[in-house]
Chains A and B, each alone.
Chain A
Amino acid sequence: MVRYGDVAAVDGLTFSVPRGSILALLGPNGAGKTTTVEALEGYRRPDGGTVRVLGLDPRRDRGSLTPRIGVMLQEGGVYTGIRPAEVLSLFASYYDDPADPDELVGRVGLHDRRRTTWRHLSGGEKQRLSLALALVGRPEVAFLDEPTAGVDPEGRQLIRSVVAALRDDGVTVLLTTHDLDEAERLADHVVIIDHGRILASGTPAELMQSGTSEEIRFGAPAGLDVRALTARLGAATEEVAPGEYRVGAAPTPATVAALTAWLAEHDLPLADLRAGRQRLEDVFLRLTAEQGSAATDDVEGRDRAGRRGARGRRARR
């Protein structure tokens, strides 16, 4: 548990990450992701509970742990007037058996920018340099706090492939993200948290199967006559978000056929249709919405927009 004043930022969070695997800590803004990671990195002393990294206490055994971990802060962390090549060499000097700075600068795609000072790098380039700095000591465990936040799609792709390659090298990775796609693609194990508590955890596949599959989701123009559709399908249909619909019925071919027939009769386009296996996003939205309504009053001053759902969050970023 970690408290800020009277607010428990993280409470009763239990998980472990097997060596050589990637765990994604997933949650809306203010869920407690950074607090959790910082407790593991040794920046915060937990108010209760036990934190161990490689069997060591991140605060008490700091000296023996720092050579074995790599850290990427959510932002900053680099001298503003320094160049990528310089700071990588500098950080390399802290470790006994560092990675080759030249190779690393190429691995994160900054070869052409290695003589540009930090303050002149773009947001995505800064993130890639921070990632390289987290890896320069050849860590056994890498903590990456929102590694792709504010990065363009190409940069995201690069960062994800670098992180995925870490697993092949046997590095254990703990990353935080509020990008569901990223967690789904990259992680071996996903822990969904909100309000500092675990809502669900498992492999992406397990999580996606865990929800009720007794539903059909589809996208169509907003404001459909859901009553008429409910009557037609014989199953409750609701508009969960503008243009997003959920039909509370098993996705049998007959029901799906009835749905598409109704849409065809009304000359309505079908944006997308999902039946059975859910996407991680559906699981996430359902879990955070449940948690949000159950716990609306227990924490004040939180980022309420964080509960509005993944789409709103992505749009704001």
Chain B
Amino acid sequence: MRALRAQLRAELVLSLRQGEQLLVSLGIPFGLLVFFSLVDVLPLPDGVDDPVQFLAPGILALAVMSVAMVSLGIGTGFEREYRVLKRLGSTPLGRPRLVAAKIAMVLAIEALQIAILVPTALALGWDPSPTTPLALVGVVAGTAAFAGIGLLMAGSLRGPLTLALANAVYLVLLLLGDMIIPLEDLPATLATIAELLPAAALSEVLRGALTEGQSAGAQAWLVLVAWAVAAPVAAASTFRWD
């Protein structure tokens, strides 16, 4: 227990110490939420006239993707690159506790993101429906899916390549993720592809859970859960520790 606590503390300190990680996990979601809520330039789905109603759930999905895929993936990729994972392999820490500490680190940063983004959205006029449990299930499933994708890269690619690819995937999923641009405003083919990706699925799940009178379709849940199972399995089976 002592080792797990110390490991979690180290993971948190190291991750929060890195300015660029904070920028990705907090700065960008916060900035996008505030800017596009106040500056009415984005297309909105039919029936929504206040941007924050559409943006807030999407930005929460973006926050999950930022920390679980980008921060975790890049951080772990460089730990592998610099042989930290290899070195830990000859200590009594063990892989289960290392993985547990990383999961706890991601969840703790997500709690911090929610603690900042939700009050901000509320202050901007967001009016969510209080179906929190379903939203939390969505966050957990999304975390599993994105952490799996991040670790799939981290465990098979060199550190710098993981850095580049995670950022590229982040940008693509941000644009195709129903986060700031509604899927219905994308060309039909692109929207169909986007619906099969975890970002749009998580956005729809969170929007359904948090918006009055809406609920996410079965397809979104199915896509999200499929990614939440497949990505970690793929990561675990291909992960190279040295």
Q: Which residues of A contact B (CB under 8 A)?
A: 41-43, 63, 66-67, 69, 71, 73, 75-82, 86-87, 89-91, 93-95, 133, 137
Q: Which residues of B contact A (CB under 8 A)?
A: 2-3, 5-7, 10, 13-14, 17-18, 78-79, 82-84, 86-87, 89-94, 242
* Contact indicator B13/A86 (Cβ below 8 Å): yes
* Contact indicator A93/B3 (Cβ below 8 Å): yes
CB distance from A164 to the nearest CB of B (A): 23
**Between A and B, how many residue pairs show CB distances below 8 Å?**
69
* Contact indicator B93/A94 (Cβ below 8 Å): yes
* Contact indicator B87/A78 (Cβ below 8 Å): yes
In the complex, what residue of chain B is closest to A78 when comparing beta carbons?
Answer: B84
In the complex, A237 Cα to B127 Cα: how many Å? Answer: 96
In the complex, A93 Cα to B3 Cα: how many Å? Answer: 5
CB distance from A114 to the nearest CB of B (A): 15
> Which 8 residue pairs across A and B have the least CB separation, nearest first?
A77-B87, A93-B6, A76-B83, A71-B90, A76-B82, A67-B92, A66-B92, A94-B91
The interface residues of chain A lying within 8 Å CB-to-CB of B93 are 94
Q: Which of A73, A90, A137 contacts B83 (CB 8 A)?
A: A73
Which of A79, A81, A89 has the most chain B CB within a 10 Å cutoff? A79
Q: What are 14 residue pairs bridging A and B, where the CB atoms are less than 8 Å apart in the complex?
A: A43-B242, A73-B83, A75-B83, A76-B86, A78-B87, A79-B79, A79-B84, A82-B14, A87-B10, A90-B7, A93-B5, A93-B6, A94-B3, A137-B92
In the complex, A15 Cα to B9 Cα: how many Å? Answer: 42
* Contact indicator B86/A93 (Cβ below 8 Å): no
A93-B2, A94-B3 known; A81+B90 contact, CB < 8 A: no
CB distance from A238 to the nearest CB of B (A): 45
CB distance from A157 to the nearest CB of B (A): 25
In the complex, what residue of chain B is closest to A118 when comparing beta carbons?
Answer: B82
The interface residues of chain B lying within 8 Å CB-to-CB of A66 are 90-92, 94
The interface residues of chain B lying within 8 Å CB-to-CB of A76 are 82-84, 86-87
The interface residues of chain B lying within 8 Å CB-to-CB of A63 are 92, 94
The interface residues of chain A lying within 8 Å CB-to-CB of B3 are 93-94
The interface residues of chain A lying within 8 Å CB-to-CB of B83 are 73, 75-77
Besides A94-B92, A95-B92, A137-B91, 7 new A-B residue pairs in contact (Cβ under 8 A), listed by A number: A76-B82, A76-B83, A76-B86, A78-B82, A78-B87, A90-B7, A93-B7
* Contact indicator A43/B10 (Cβ below 8 Å): no
A43-B86, A73-B86, A75-B83 known; A81+B7 contact, CB < 8 A: no
In the complex, A78 Cα to B92 Cα: how many Å? Answer: 16
* Contact indicator B84/A81 (Cβ below 8 Å): no
CB distance from B16 to the nearest CB of A (A): 10
The interface residues of chain A lying within 8 Å CB-to-CB of B84 are 76-79
A43-B242, A86-B10, A93-B3 known; A69+B82 contact, CB < 8 A: no
In the complex, what residue of chain B is closest to A44 when comparing beta carbons?
Answer: B242
In the complex, A76 Cα to B13 Cα: how many Å? Answer: 20
CB distance from B95 to the nearest CB of A (A): 10
Q: Which of A43, A86, A93 contacts B90 (CB 8 A)?
A: A43
In the complex, what residue of chain A is closest to B241 when comparing beta carbons?
Answer: A43
CB distance from B3 to the nearest CB of A (A): 5
